[in-house]
Amino acid sequence: MTENAAESRPRPRVLVTRRLPADVEARLRTEFSPLLYEDGGPIGLDKIAAEAEKADALLITGSEKMTGDAFAALPKSIRIVATLSVGTDHIDLDAARKLGFVVTNTPDVLTDATADITLLVMLGAARRAYEGQKILREGRWTGWAPTQFLGTDLRGKRLGVLGMGRIGQAVAARARAFGMKIHYHNRRPVAEAEALAATYHDTVESLLRVSDVLSLNCPGTPETHHLINDRTIDMMPPNAILVNTARGSVVDDEALIRALKSGRLQSAGLDVFEGEPKVNPGYFDIDNCYILPHMGSATVETRNAMGFCCLDNIAAYFSGQEPPARVA
């Protein structure tokens, strides 16, 4: 297509369900015809279905549950749904395929930010950061003491990475720099793991048994639902630490809270929760968990890159190319 033809083509109309970083909204206004919600959303599925009549593309986030019914309710004008997330557990991809919608996600661009926050909550859990902060903020700190807030070194400990995809590998690389020994389970061994001197386990159970620290980096799927439960926690070494920056659904909260209360697990570092934004209140009553509200990809650079990735996919689709991050 010539430059003139591209210029004269109508701009794709994009319905955006949440406020996005300023640079992303600026590009939306320059290259597309956006329908933006000034109050920050999330907007309900009914409203999406109604407003989508005026749009060609839908830009959603992990907060919008795109079930089969939600896809069926979309008007025919919508051709592509771009999600501002690498995770697609909120989207019924089979229904999208059946109904002829293209779906894209945001792989790669959030790998480093998510791996960074994994180390943050891992250290927070290992070094009792919450307890230290609490006593300081409440004005109860009486001074340094040789036996105060003794945590656990990461150096020399075995890190079990459950799910050795992009984020799992980035977590492993960082953990290596902290002197940890890497073990992992994945459907198949991954070639990149060799550079990390990582040991492959062909079952989850085998990985759990050697994980002084277990990092969950697998997707939230029916197969991984409550993979961490009373039975599997019991397989872990005494005083193990659990880290979850993947999806809350992988963990049975009641089982984890029990294990943290009883001391079966030393501590947990969590950035994600089942049923977000609701969080099992049991976590608020215990000091040995370091918790954050789903902040894994929350940096300016990363959220910009995620937004631009969505726009690149939408732009590619409407210029007749294959969207680079197409998942359906």
Question: Using CB under 6 A as the criterion, which residues of the chain lie in contact with ligand DGY when the complex forms?
Answer: 62, 85-87, 110, 296-297
Least distance CB 11 / ligand DGY (angstroms): 26
- Which residue out of 27, 247, 274, 303 is catalytically annotated? 247
Cβ nearer to ligand DGY, comparing 62 with 124:
62
Cβ nearer to ligand DGY, comparing 86 with 265:
86
Q: Is 276 assigned a catalytic role?
A: yes
The count of other CB atoms within 10 Å of the CB of residue 203 is: 9
Whole-angstrom Cα distance, residue 55 to residue 101? 14
Least distance CB 60 / ligand DGY (angstroms): 10
Q: Residue 66's Cα: distance from chain center in Å?
A: 17
Q: Is 274 assigned a catalytic role?
A: no
Least distance CB 134 / ligand DGY (angstroms): 27
Write phi, then psi, for 174 (nearest 5 degrees). -65, -40
Helices (H), the chain: 3-8, 22-31, 45-51, 68-72, 93-99, 111-126, 129-137, 166-177, 204-210, 230-233, 253-262, 300-318
91 beta partners: 66
Residue found by looking up tokens 């902040």 in the block: 295
For residue 151, which of 123, 118, 128 has the smallest C-alpha distance? 128
Least distance CB 66 / ligand DGY (angstroms): 13
**Is residue 74 within 8 Å of residue 54, measured between CB atoms?**
no
Q: How far apart are the first and last CA of the chain?
A: 26
Cβ nearer to ligand DGY, comparing 277 with 320:
277
Least distance CB 62 / ligand DGY (angstroms): 4
Query: 3-state DSSP helix/strand/coil percent for the chain, to nearest 5?
Result: 40, 15, 45
The CA-based angle 80-82-87, given to 5 degrees, is 135
Cβ nearer to ligand DGY, comparing 230 with 276:
276
- Which residue out of 18, 127, 128, 294 is catalytically annotated? 294
Cβ nearer to ligand DGY, comparing 154 with 309:
309
- Which residue out of 276, 301, 303, 326 is catalytically annotated? 276
Q: Is 64 assigned a catalytic role?
A: no
Cβ nearer to ligand DGY, comparing 45 with 180:
45
Least distance CB 225 / ligand DGY (angstroms): 16
Comparing every residue's Cβ against ligand DGY, the nearest one is 87
Active site residues: 247, 276, 294
